[in-house]
Amino acid sequence: MPREEREAQLVVAGTEEFGRVGYAGASMVEIARRVGVTKPLLYQYFGSKDGLYLACLHRAGDRLTEGVATTMAAGGEPDQMPLKVLSAIFTTFDHDRYAWRLLRDDTVPATGDIAASAADYRHRLDAFALVGATQLMTSRGLADPVDIEAIAQVWTGVVDSLISWWIDRPDEDAAAMTARCARIMAGLFGW
Amino acid sequence: MPREEREAQLVVAGTEEFGRVGYAGASMVEIARRVGVTKPLLYQYFGSKDGLYLACLHRAGDRLTEGVATTMAAGGEPDQMPLKVLSAIFTTFDHDRYAWRLLRDDTVPATGDIAASAADYRHRLDAFALVGATQLMTSRGLADPVDIEAIAQVWTGVVDSLISWWIDRPDEDAAAMTARCARIMAGLFGW
DNA sequence: ACGGTAACTTACCCTCGGGTCACTTTACGC
DNA sequence: GCGTAAAGTGACCCGAGGGTAAGTTACCGT
């Protein structure tokens, strides 16, 4: 099998395994086993556990930030944005649901390339969340900047929860998930 | 120092360390170091890493389920319950903010006493969340049971996010945190 | 046919952390 | 004072997992 194809397989397997048990809990030999090869090949292609994780992280992070950026750039009513962003995330990761977790994995080493890269992606997403939260709050006449920070962080936690719930229900596709969120938000908040 | 007192110190230190880096990431020697003793004493008192974790988990879980149960039993308007429960949680864990994370640590072994005990606490909390979500949804005329499950899970994720945010802001006390949540919920949802 | 390169493996090393043993020190009742 | 029990420690074992060296197979261009 050509290197390029094997690498893609390994990144997919790595993303699932890292997403499932976190960086610290994942085992390189297990990731290799999932695609039917052995550990040294994995090391030959990615150099280290960090190298593999970075490859997985960049693929996930780039797709995610791009999808969210496009949605945010399109604009719209502040209380419509959360659903639009959710829809973009669900659509992007319908067949790759563990990817989101890589950006929020708190078992990665506290320093080094991974920490820096993950922090970078998180900052970019947090910036979007902050913009959305600010628009939402000002549209309601609220402006405490600390409240807005808190909302932005809770928002990412909500996405986290929804994706965890979704992972446990593989039969629910992106459209159904989006419809469910729309129904709930309309019912609970009148959005 | 008498055993009882030392054990209490170790449980506190263990809770902080397990909460900070998770079961898998925590080191027994580090926990011992935090209270100024060495590893063998820790093992003499708690038997194993699992034993220490269980001691920490039970303390956190018992206090949490008790606090939430009391609040839920008091009853009230469905859309007032979330804030009341949050207030109970913040008050209970004002000086022990990492405790909540023990119940939601997904780096614990998948089987064994810890998994069983943590699952038990989570199920009890999820049951409360499910009751609250059901009351909230029916008061809005919505009744899809799968939606209600999703809401219950998102709710626990929201609590998670709020506590993580709170951990990073040690100057904010329980009352201020409750007031902030009240302000935000009123502003965003009209609750 | 054959040299070379890329894909891939077996067998190994080394560190880290859970867990244990044998031992020393401290506190307290008599 | 002194014996005993509890508090506490230094030094060790061992398994798991990251990482590597050296070798083997398979394919491809000339």
Angle between helices A145-167 and B145-167 (to 10 degrees): 130
| Nearest chain B CA: its distance from A157 CA (Å) | 5
Which string of DSSP letters, residue by residue, matches A4-34? HHHHHHHHHHHHHHHHHHHHHH--HHHHHHH
Q: Is the pLDDT of residue A186 over 90?
A: yes
For residue A49, give the nucleotide whose C1' atom is nearest its CA.
D18
Q: Which of B154, B161, B27, B169 is nearest to B101 (CA)?
A: B161
Span between the terminal Cα atoms of chain A, in Å? 51
The pLDDT > 70 percentage for chain A reads 100
d(CA A144, CA A150): 10
Place of tokens 């220490």: B52
> Across residues A161-189, what is the average pLDDT?
96
User: With bands split at pLDDT 50, 70 and 90, how would you rate the model's confidence at B191?
Assistant: confident
pLDDT at B172: 97
In whole angstroms, what is the distance from residue B27 CA to residue B10 CA? 13
B136/A153 Cβ within 8 A: no
Read out DSSP for B67-127?
Answer: HHHHHHHH---GGGHHHHHHHHHHHHTTT-TTHHHHHT-TTS-SSSHHHHHHHHHHHHHHH
- Position B80 scores a pLDDT of 94
Q: Cβ distance A94 to A171 under 8 Å?
A: no
pLDDT band at B75 (very low <50, low <70, confident <90, very high): confident
Q: Would you say residue A122 has pLDDT above 90?
A: yes
Q: How many residues does chain B have?
A: 191
Cβ–Cβ < 8 Å for B139, A173: no
Question: Is the shortest CB-to-strand distance from A39 to strand D under 7 Å?
Answer: yes
Q: Do A183 and B144 touch (CB under 8 A)?
A: yes
- Residues with Cβ within 8 Å of B75's Cβ and at least 6 positions away in sequence, in order, are none
Phi, psi values for residue A128, rounded to 5°: -60, -45
Contact predicate B24/A107, CB 8 Å: yes
> Mind telling me how many Å the CA of B110 is from chain A's nearest CA?
10
CB proximity under 8 Å: A 131-160 to B: 136-137, 140-142, 144, 146-147, 149-151, 153-154, 156-158, 160
Report the distance from CA of residue B37 to the C1' of nucleotide D2 in Å, as an integer: 28
| Angle (nearest 5°) at CA B43 between B37 and B61 | 95
d(CA B92, CA B88): 6
Closest nt to A24 (CA→C1')? D17
Q: Between the CA of B16 and the C1' of C24, what is the distance in angstroms? A: 31
Cβ–Cβ under 8 Å, residues B102 and B153: no
Residue A31, CB, strand D, below 7 Å: no
By C-alpha distance, the chain A residue nearest B21 is A107
C-alpha distance from residue A29 to each of A21, A38, A39, A40, B138 (Å): 14, 7, 5, 9, 49
By Cβ distance, the residue of B144, B156, B161 closest to A154 is B161
The per-residue pLDDT for A28 is 98
Cross-chain CB nearest to A25 (options B107, B154, B161): B107
In b/e form, how buried is each residue of B135-164, taking b as 16+ CB within 10 angstroms? bbbeebebeeeebbbbbbbbbbbbbbbbbb
Among positive and negative, which fits the CA dihedral B162, B163, B169, B173? positive
- Give pLDDT, residue A172: 97
Residue B29 Cβ under 7 A from any strand C atom: yes
Contact B162 A154 (CB under 8 A): yes
d(CA A170, CA B92) in angstroms, rounded, equals 37
Q: What is the pLDDT of residue A115?
A: 97
The predicted-structure confidence for A3-53, as pLDDT tens digits, reads as follows 999 999 999 999 999 999 999 999 999 999 999 999 999 999 999 999 999
Contact list in B for residue A151 (CB cut-off 8 A) is 184, 188
Between CA B191 and CA B189 the distance in angstroms is 5
Residue written as tokens 């808190």? A150
Average pLDDT value for residue range A93-107: 95
State what percent of residues in chain B have pLDDT above 90.
Answer: 96
Q: Is A181 a residue whose pLDDT tops 90?
A: yes
pLDDT digits (tens, 9 = 90+) for B129-154: 999 999 999 999 999 999 999 999 99
d(CA A132, nearest CA chain B) in Å: 13
Q: What pLDDT was estimated at residue B85?
A: 97
In chain B the first and final C-alpha atoms are separated, in Å, by 51
Q: Which two tokens stand for residue B167?
A: 């951990």
Whether any strand D atom is under 7 angstroms from the Cβ of B34: the reply reads: no
CA dihedral for B63, B100, B75, B175, sign (positive or negative)? positive
What Å value separates CA A190 and C1' C8? 59
The answer to whether A136 CB is within 7 Å of strand D is no
- Reported in sequence order, the residue ranges of A66-183 that DSSP labels E, i.e. its strands, are none
A25 touches strand C (CB under 7 A): no
Q: Residue B145: which residues within 8 A CB-CB, separation 6 or more?
A: none
Mean pLDDT for chain A? 96
**Rounded distance, CA B191 to CA B185, Å?**
6
